[in-house]
Every structure is written in structure tokens, then in C-alpha cells.
């Protein structure tokens, strides 16, 4: 039955794949036999990630927030069977301090670029009879948190994007699902909490297990949703958070 999780012969593109949750997903997909294309802005991180993951991994340096470049980028990458949208950026400011430019930048990275990538790569999926798209939301989409107004808005909008894509693309054999990671040991998490001990303590108090997750915890969930094991799973919002949303 484990053949259902096998990604041998599948080509997966993972934005933000050079570090953090994206790399955790890439590591899991690589173990399942996928051919990988990692995308990000830091060539050093991408090169190091590919060196660790092996010869079936390649990378492309691309800033996905540059929307006008995405059609050409997608054409140059070619067809993929799996698209994982994991690129992101963090902004920690109180709402009254967030400028219009701040707000637009975060929405552009987490929503506009995700839509543009889905649109372009789904064209090839439709031609080939199907594919899997994974969106990454956040616990901020289901619980209010201070100092992340732009990020919360963006990650909530991801759910609306999923609903619309499921309505439009499912008939073409394309499945779209969303993972909402809890608090995972990543550079982005530590950027938010390392200098804020009370915030760290409050977050841990919200997690029933009192532990942060590992990037591979998201990777295993992603493997299920993007492999044949999840072939009848479509339009799901899956928290991977050790029960934090339930305990909120």
C-alpha cells in the first residue's frame, strides 16, 4: 500500500524550497522519489539544499513577487506534476504601524504570486490531464494574533483562492489543497520570537504538546496530499499544528 505515496517519475516545483518548511517538504518528496525543482531568491541556500537532496534536485533563482516575470519563468521551467507554493515573508508590526506598501508587499508575496504561479503551471497540468497544487496557509487564518495583520490577511485569502481554484480546475483533474502549519522550527519562526520571550511563552502555551513542530511534519502531510494516497482529497484545509487551533 505504500506505493500510493511513491512520487517516482513525478516532477515537483517547490517555491521557498531552499530552507524552512519548503525544504522540509522537499526532503520528504525526495525520499519518495520525486524529481525536484527548488525555487527561491538565495542561490547559496538553493545550491546547498540541492547538494543535500541529491542528483534528482535542481534549482531556479527567481523572485516570485515579480509577477510580470512569472509567465516566462513557468514556460522556461516546463511541465510539473506538483506545485507547492511555500515562498513567504514575515512582517512583525502593530496594525497602526503597517504602511500601505508593507501591506501590499506581503499580499503580493503570499497571494498574488501564488495565484500567478497556479495559473501558469495549471495550464500545463490541464493539457496533461491533471496534477496537484498545494497552498500554504497559517494558524493566523483561524486565530487572531498581534502584530501580523498583513500576514493574517494574506493567509486567510489563501483559503478563498483555494475555493475558487477547486471550482475552476477540478474538472481538469487538478487537485488543490491547503496546509496550515502550526509553529514549526524555521528561520521565519525564530525571526518572530527569538527577541520576544513573552511571545514565545504565549505561543508554547497555546500548543497542547508544548513543542514546536519540525519541517518534515509538514512534509509528510504534503506527501499525502500530493501523492496518489490523496487522490480523492480535494479542497481540504489541513492544520498541522499539534492541536493548537482546537485548543485556542
Residue 176, domain CATH = 3.40.50.720
The model's confidence at residue 248, banded by pLDDT at 50, 70 and 90, is low
Q: Show Cβ contacts of residue 12 under 8 Å, excluding neighbours closer than 6 positions.
A: 29, 34, 35, 36, 37, 80, 81, 82, 83, 84, 226
| pLDDT band per the 50, 70, 90 thresholds, residue 17 | very high
Q: Any idea which of 115-119, 215-219, 244-248 has the lowest mean pLDDT?
A: 244-248
- Work out the pLDDT band at 30, boundaries 50, 70, 90: very high
The yes-or-no verdict on residue 22 having pLDDT over 70 is yes
Residue 25 has pLDDT above 90, yes or no: yes
Mean pLDDT of the chain: 94
The Cα 84–Cα 12 span in angstroms is 7
pLDDT digits (tens, 9 = 90+) for 116-175: 999 999 999 999 999 999 999 998 898 888 899 999 999 999 999 999 999 999 999 999
Asked, for residue 248, whether it belongs to a domain, the answer is no
| pLDDT tens string 164-211 | 999 999 999 999 999 999 889 887 788 778 878 888 888 888 889 999
* pLDDT for residue 244 is more than 90: no
pLDDT at 191: 77
pLDDT at 79: 98
In a domain, 158, yes or no: yes
Whether the CB-CB separation of 50 and 59 falls below 8 Å is answered with yes
Closest CA to 136 of 225, 33, 47: 225
In a domain, 47, yes or no: yes
Question: Comparing 66 with 201, which gets the higher pLDDT?
Answer: 66
What pTM, to 2 d.p., does this model score?
0.94
Q: Which of 59, 151, 220, 224 is catalytic?
A: 151
Q: How far apart are CA 160 and CA 210, in angstroms?
A: 31
pLDDT of the residue at 203: 83
Domain of 89?
2-243
Q: What's the structural domain count of the chain?
A: 1
**58 half-sphere exposure, CB direction, 13 A CA radius:** 6
Specify the higher pLDDT residue, 211 or 33: 33
- How many CA atoms, within 13 angstroms, populate the side-chain half-sphere of residue 90? 13
124 contacts 80 by C-beta, under 8 angstroms:
yes
pLDDT at position 29 is: 98
CA distance 37 to 160: 27
Q: Which residue has the cell 516570485?
A: 64
Dihedral Cα 23, 29, 33, 39, nearest 10 deg: -50
Q: What is the pLDDT of residue 205?
A: 87
Q: Is residue 127 part of a domain?
A: yes
Residue 246 has pLDDT above 80, yes or no: no
Q: How far is CA 122 from CA 119, 128, 172, in A?
A: 5, 10, 9
pLDDT, residue 1, reads 67
Average pLDDT rounded to a whole number, residues 219-232: 98
Query: Measured between alpha carbons, how far is 134 from 186 in angstroms, rounded to an integer?
Result: 19
- Residue 46 belongs to a domain: yes
In order of 28, 181, 197, the CA distances from 220 in angstroms are: 6, 12, 30
> What pLDDT sits at residue 149?
96
Average pLDDT of the residues in 14-27 = 97
Catalytic residue list contains 151: yes
Amino acid at each position: 500500500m505504500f506505493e500510493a505515496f511513491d512520487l517516482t517519475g513525478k516532477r515537483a516545483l517547490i517555491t521557498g524550497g531552499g530552507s524552512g518548511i519548503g525544504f522540509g517538504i522537499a526532503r520528504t518528496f525526495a525520499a519518495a522519489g520525486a524529481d525536484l525543482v527548488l525555487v527561491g531568491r538565495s542561490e547559496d541556500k538553493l545550491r546547498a539544499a540541492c547538494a543535500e537532496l541529491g542528483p534528482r534536485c535542481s534549482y531556479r533563482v527567481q523572485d516570485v513577487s515579480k509577477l510580470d516575470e512569472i509567465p516566462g519563468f513557468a514556460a522556461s521551467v516546463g511541465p510539473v506534476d506538483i506545485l507547492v507554493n511555500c515562498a513567504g515573508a514575515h512582517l512583525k508590526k502593530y496594525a497602526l504601524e503597517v504602511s500601505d506598501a508593507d501591506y501590499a508587499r506581503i499580499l503580493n508575496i503570499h497571494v498574488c504570486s501564488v495565484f500567478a504561479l497556479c495559473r501558469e503551471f495549471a495550464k500545463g497540468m490541464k493539457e496533461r490531464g491533471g496534477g496537484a497544487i498545494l497552498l500554504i496557509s497559517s494558524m493566523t487564518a483561524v486565530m487572531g494574533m498581534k502584530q501580523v495583520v498583513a500576514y493574517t490577511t494574506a493567509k486567510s485569502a489563501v483559503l478563498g483562492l483555494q475555493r475558487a481554484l477547486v471550482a475552476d480546475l477540478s474538472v481538469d483533474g487538478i487537485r488543490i489543497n491547503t496546509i496550515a502549519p502550526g509553529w514549526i522550527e524555521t528561520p521565519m519562526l525564530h525571526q518572530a520570537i527569538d527577541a520576544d520571550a513573552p511571545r514565545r511563552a504565549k505561543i508554547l502555551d497555546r500548543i497542547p504538546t508544548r513543542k514546536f513542530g519540525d519541517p518534515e511534519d509538514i512534509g509528510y502531510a504534503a506527501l499525502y496530499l500530493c501523492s496518489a494516497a490523496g487522490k480523492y482529497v480535494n479542497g481540504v484545509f489541513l492544520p498541522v499544528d499539534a492541536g493548537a487551533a482546537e485548543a485556542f
